[in-house]
Homo-oligomer: A and B are copies of this chain.
């Protein structure tokens, strides 16, 4: 018997961080169904079903819509490396960690990257991009819809129009947004988009839903060089996900079961109802936090419902509170990344996690820990304010 390998026994956690988020019990059940082969007639049907459900969620007719066999970051890399050839101009909008990551990925793919930056927590307007679009004449403009490091909620419609006027393709990071707020791929003219399973889809991490517009597909088809990644080559993947079913790699069967069930849950609830639920619990949480004197970091009017990034109150020990939440209550929230380390908490209300019980329990636990640290607030006021919002 091997050393250092005790039986698997993960603790029960209430996942209220930036993801992975709470997984729906039906999704865990799906995950444990018996594995079939990746060319089994049943699995091929399931792939069709998955594609159909993803198209409905992305609100698109894009044929090239599927799940990359990797996490959200693999989705980012897949969209970038398929669109970019060495020497291509790409503009990346950076107002947090994930914009920076996209720029890094694009440079490694050989893009000449122009970074447009905004302070963390703020969003981009068309005006912020004007001069760069003129000068860089980008083939691709990359932007993050829901910046998980800051909680900023980026509007896309106008920017998409302007990018297309300038002859570029719009590439969108929807890792945290998909399933929590409307993502209108066709109506907004998004050319390439990626997400992850572990945010608002109530599913464990492991797959990255992606979609490419016909315009993006045309660009991919007329490449002069091969895509640098064989694993992520969209043309090869299209032959496996498409009707010819050419074997490419062995898909992650059980994770596909989980994503399928997760998407069924969303469509059972209905997209509008699902988005409304995320908003409701966000507002309740925000009311509770406000009562405790805790404010948001993202600019007003541009706050994500599913990812509440808030300032750690002055005099309060960030790490001690997060440790207390985890150890005493089994609740995970996220700390700040990069420039926000030690200064920000990131509270996720994503998918199955966006529920009344979670909001109230979290606020009660937070009040308990803040009181221990001598933070001034009226006892019970956070829970009461959130509770009032539900009536």
Task: List chain A positions with a Cβ less than 8 A from chain B.
Answer: 1-8, 10-13, 15, 17, 19-20, 22-23, 28-38, 40-43, 46, 48-49, 52-53, 56, 69-74, 76-77, 101, 104-105, 107-109, 196, 198, 204-206, 226-231, 247-255, 257-258, 260-261, 263-264, 267-268, 326, 332, 337
**Chain B residues whose C-beta falls within 8 Å of the C-beta of A42 in the assembled complex:** 10-11
Residue from B2, B7, B204, B261 in contact with A56 in the complex, judged by beta carbons closer than 8 Å = B2
Q: With A252-B71, A257-B8 known to touch, is A264 a contact of B2 (CB < 8 Å)?
A: yes
Q: Nearest Cβ distance between residue A15 and chain B, in whole angstroms?
A: 6
Q: Nearest Cβ distance between residue A385 and chain B, in whole angstroms?
A: 27
**Chain B residues whose C-beta falls within 8 Å of the C-beta of A249 in the assembled complex:** 71-74
A-B contact list, 20 entries, CB within 8 Å: A1-B268, A5-B52, A7-B264, A8-B257, A12-B34, A13-B37, A32-B32, A40-B326, A69-B71, A69-B206, A70-B231, A73-B231, A104-B230, A105-B230, A109-B228, A204-B253, A204-B255, A205-B250, A228-B228, A228-B229
Would A13 and B38 count as touching, CB distance under 8 A? no
Residue from B1, B4, B105, B254 in contact with A49 in the complex, judged by beta carbons closer than 8 Å = B4
Q: Nearest Cβ distance between residue A257 and chain B, in whole angstroms?
A: 6
CA distance A41 to B46 in the complex (A): 35
Q: Nearest Cβ distance between residue A10 and chain B, in whole angstroms?
A: 5
**Chain B residues whose C-beta falls within 8 Å of the C-beta of A74 in the assembled complex:** 69-70, 231, 249
Would A49 and B5 count as touching, CB distance under 8 A? yes
Among A77, A196, A249, residue most surrounded by chain B Cβ atoms (within 10 Å): A249
Would B33 and A250 count as touching, CB distance under 8 A? no
CA distance A46 to B338 in the complex (A): 26
Q: Nearest Cβ distance between residue A122 and chain B, in whole angstroms?
A: 23
Would A250 and B12 count as touching, CB distance under 8 A? no
Would A332 and B73 count as touching, CB distance under 8 A? no
Q: Nearest Cβ distance between residue A362 and chain B, in whole angstroms?
A: 15
**Chain B residues whose C-beta falls within 8 Å of the C-beta of A230 in the assembled complex:** 73, 77, 101, 104-105, 108
Q: With A71-B249, A196-B250 known to touch, is A260 a contact of B13 (CB < 8 Å)?
A: no
**Chain B residues whose C-beta falls within 8 Å of the C-beta of A11 in the assembled complex:** 36, 40, 42
Among A35, A48, A105, A196, residue most surrounded by chain B Cβ atoms (within 10 Å): A35
**Chain B residues whose C-beta falls within 8 Å of the C-beta of A32 in the assembled complex:** 28-29, 31-32
CA distance A208 to B231 in the complex (A): 13
Q: Nearest Cβ distance between residue A355 and chain B, in whole angstroms?
A: 16
Q: Which residue of B lies closest to A323 (CB)?
A: B41
Q: Nearest Cβ distance between residue A137 and chain B, in whole angstroms?
A: 25
Would B31 and A31 count as touching, CB distance under 8 A? yes
The 8 A-B pairs at the shortest CB distance, nearest first, are namely A2-B267, A206-B252, A32-B32, A73-B249, A204-B254, A28-B32, A205-B250, A70-B70
Would B35 and A23 count as touching, CB distance under 8 A? yes
Would A5 and B251 count as touching, CB distance under 8 A? no
CA distance A129 to B35 in the complex (A): 40
Q: Which residue of B lies closest to A270 (CB)?
A: B1
Would A8 and B33 count as touching, CB distance under 8 A? yes
Q: Which residue of B lies closest to A2 (CB)?
A: B267
Q: With A35-B20, A255-B206 known to touch, is A48 a contact of B332 (CB < 8 Å)?
A: no
